[in-house]
Amino acid sequence: MSADDAVQLSLFAHRLSAICEEMGAVLKRSAISPNIRDREDFSCALFNRDGQLVAQAAHIPIHLGSMAFAMADVVGRFDWQADDVVVFNDPFLGGTHLPDITVVTPIFSQQELIGFSAARAHHADIGGRSPGSMGVETRLEDEGLIISPCYWFKAGEEQQQLPQRFQQQVRAYAERLGDLAAQKAACVIGGQRLVALADTGLDDRIAALMAVSEAYGRRAIADIPDGEYCFEDVMEDDGCGSGPLPVCVRIAIAGETARVDFSGTAAQAGGPVNCPLAVTAASVLYVFRCLMPKHTPQTAAVFRPISITAPQGCLVDANAGAAVAAGNVETSQRIVDVVLGALAKAIPDRIPAAAQGTMNNVIFGGKKGEDDWVYYETLAGGMGAHAGGDGLSTVQCHMTNTKNSSIEVLEMHYPLQVRTYQVRKGSGGKGRFNGGDGLIREWYVREDCHLSLLTERRATAPYGLQGGYSGASGKNRLCRDGVWQSLPAKGSWQLKADDLIRIETPGGGGFGVGKSKAGTTDERR
């Protein structure tokens, strides 16, 4: 790379990521469902003509790595024409879990395919057996509509099959189609902007950017001492009676490359905690991305020096057909925990204790007259403490960063009332530095409805490091007729009017041996 090229590439990288930001702005503002517009559970990206990620806005980490990992397979399946729009959600064909629907459009400049723009968003329902399609199922087909990559528009012509399938199977399908339209609009904008850059040698510039950006990944790994580092933690259960399920990692650092191997991890489970390899990759790549500098371009190439292997048919590389709803939102957090835990042995000053290790997925659903309603929320918790200070309290950790829904908005739309929304004081693990606190949220149920929970760290606790205590485990509780009872970490229930649901989310782990602060009741690890 010549010095002049370096200047041009720096400019080019900024332009590409600005395009992705703009795609996100379009999607967020024109989407219909609260999950996309308010909670911002979506990501936008640009790819080269081979389906290699060349830019992505900093939206949701779980989307970043998984798109980088799996788009190449998808784009190879079509003979692309201008104004095609392809949609998919199949976890074993480019997707993550069924509610994450991806819209892809090819980008043509003067009849030549120059790349792709894609928008992935988490839809509030995809026609699974339970409202919100995030229940405890044992087969992928029960989790909802499986869309293998297929045309929504072919050369600009709408193909009726896809909308028909939504209409037949998906709750509040009109809202889904509105959201898909917003995703398509975002892709179109991304395409137009890339075409505007396509004057000369776009291919060469993309190739040069890819070549250069690999260096960020290599440098980050070179900063980690060579060696093999292992760590193990567990998913406490699969919601169907199996567990705990070990997640094991062995990371081999050699110079500028890393091998991440999950041998020893439990076999895939009956319940929905399985991950397609794309989700596992997203989790691993997230951790390494955190070790790279802030301005690192979001290309597939930064991850080239990292190889990932897992025994086929295990929890983190499940076979097609396995239930995966919680793999994306729960197991991914545990994968982050084990990768961080292993790296803590190599670079203890740069790695925090465990964060809450769950997204605390809470899904209410029911009928309002003729119409279905679904309300999906993930709850924040504590981040782990680190060598530099306390962990943050009541924030979304690691693989997600979605916002909460406004209490007023949810009370306007659903028969629920939020009674409590508080910091769970003292739930962060103690240490020289304390883990961040989790939170407490309580919903009063005004009408009979349905509840699904997909949570973790109820029976186990987020680990501390360097002698710090673990964070407090989370709790799920139901109050019916004045009597409190515990609910399991995962499951679906029919709720009655006047029920009260209370979720307490885990605190982050503590770091270092404390001076005089008393530990929590949790075990020191």
Contacts (CB under 8 A) with other proteins, residues 262-301: 286, 289-295
Tell me which of 54, 70, 180, 182 binds other proteins, using CB under 8 A: 182
Q: What is the smallest separation between the CB atom of 395 and other proteins, expressed in angstroms?
A: 4
**Smaller CB separation from other proteins, 352 or 429:** 352
**Smaller CB separation from other proteins, 147 or 500:** 500
Q: What is the smallest separation between the CB atom of 26 and other proteins, expressed in angstroms?
A: 5
Q: What is the smallest separation between the CB atom of 13 and other proteins, expressed in angstroms?
A: 7
Q: What is the smallest separation between the CB atom of 286 and other proteins, expressed in angstroms?
A: 8
By the 8 A CB rule, do 273 and 238 touch?
yes
Tell me which of 274, 401, 473, 520 binds other proteins, using CB under 8 A: 401
Residues 339-398 interacting with other proteins (rule: CB under 8 A): 340, 350-352, 379-380, 383, 386-390, 392-397
Span interacting with other proteins, options 93-101, 155-163, 176-184, 236-244, rule CB under 8 A: 176-184
Tell me which of 72, 82, 207, 215 binds other proteins, using CB under 8 A: 215
Task: Identify the CA nearest to 139 among candidates 335, 318, 331, 363.
Answer: 318
Task: Identify the CA nearest to 479 among candidates 498, 496, 494, 500.
Answer: 500
CA neighbours closer than 13 Å in the CB half-sphere of residue 290: 16
**Smaller CB separation from other proteins, 399 or 461:** 399
CB within 8 Å of 265: residues ≥ 6 apart:
246, 247, 248, 249, 310, 311, 314, 315, 316
Number of neighbouring beta carbons within 10 Å of residue 328: 35
Tell me which of 412, 482, 515, 518 binds other proteins, using CB under 8 A: 412
Q: What is the smallest separation between the CB atom of 29 and other proteins, expressed in angstroms?
A: 5
String of DSSP letters for 123-151: -S--S-SSTTS-S--SBGGGGS----SEE
Span interacting with other proteins, options 130-138, 207-215, 323-331, 365-373, rule CB under 8 A: 207-215
Cα dist. 331→166, 340, 486 in Å? 28, 14, 22
Tell me which of 242, 348, 404, 448 binds other proteins, using CB under 8 A: 404
CA-to-CA distance for 197 and 48, rounded, in angstroms? 13
**Smaller CB separation from other proteins, 252 or 418:** 418
Pairing of strands 85-88, 53-56: unpaired
Span interacting with other proteins, options 236-244, 318-326, 402-410, 460-468, rule CB under 8 A: 402-410
CA-to-CA distance for 264 and 73, rounded, in angstroms? 28
Pairing of strands 257-261, 306-309: parallel
504: part of which helix (H) or strand (E)? strand 500-504
Span interacting with other proteins, options 133-141, 170-178, 310-318, 361-369, rule CB under 8 A: 170-178
By the 8 A CB rule, do 197 and 207 touch?
no
CA-to-CA distance for 322 and 2, rounded, in angstroms? 49
CA-to-CA distance for 71 and 59, rounded, in angstroms? 17
Tell me which of 151, 304, 417, 480 binds other proteins, using CB under 8 A: 417
String of DSSP letters for 239-293: SSS---EEEEEEEEEETTEEEEE-TTPPBPPSSS----HHHHHHHHHHHHHHHS-
Residues 72-131 interacting with other proteins (rule: CB under 8 A): none
Residues 13-52 interacting with other proteins (rule: CB under 8 A): 13-15, 18, 21-22, 25-26, 28-34, 37-38
**Smaller CB separation from other proteins, 318 or 335:** 335
State the number of binding residues for other proteins (CB under 8 A): 87
CA-to-CA distance for 102 and 86, rounded, in angstroms? 8
Q: What is the smallest separation between the CB atom of 293 and other proteins, expressed in angstroms?
A: 6
Tell me which of 58, 82, 240, 479 binds other proteins, using CB under 8 A: 58
CA-to-CA distance for 497 and 84, rounded, in angstroms? 47
Task: Identify the CA nearest to 332 among candidates 117, 10, 63, 12.
Answer: 63
Burial code (b: 16+ CB inside 10 Å, e: under 16) for 403-440 equals ebbeeeebeeebbbeeeeeebbeebbbbbbbbbbbbbb
Residues 456-475 interacting with other proteins (rule: CB under 8 A): none
Residues 311-340 interacting with other proteins (rule: CB under 8 A): 340
Residue 418 touches other proteins, criterion: CB under 8 A: yes
Tell me which of 408, 483, 515, 516 binds other proteins, using CB under 8 A: 408
Span interacting with other proteins, options 175-183, 323-331, 450-458, 466-474, rule CB under 8 A: 175-183
Tell me which of 41, 44, 61, 238 binds other proteins, using CB under 8 A: 61
Q: What is the smallest separation between the CB atom of 304 and other proteins, expressed in angstroms?
A: 13
Q: What is the smallest separation between the CB atom of 411 and other proteins, expressed in angstroms?
A: 5
**Smaller CB separation from other proteins, 442 or 448:** 442
CA-to-CA distance for 359 and 506, rounded, in angstroms? 10
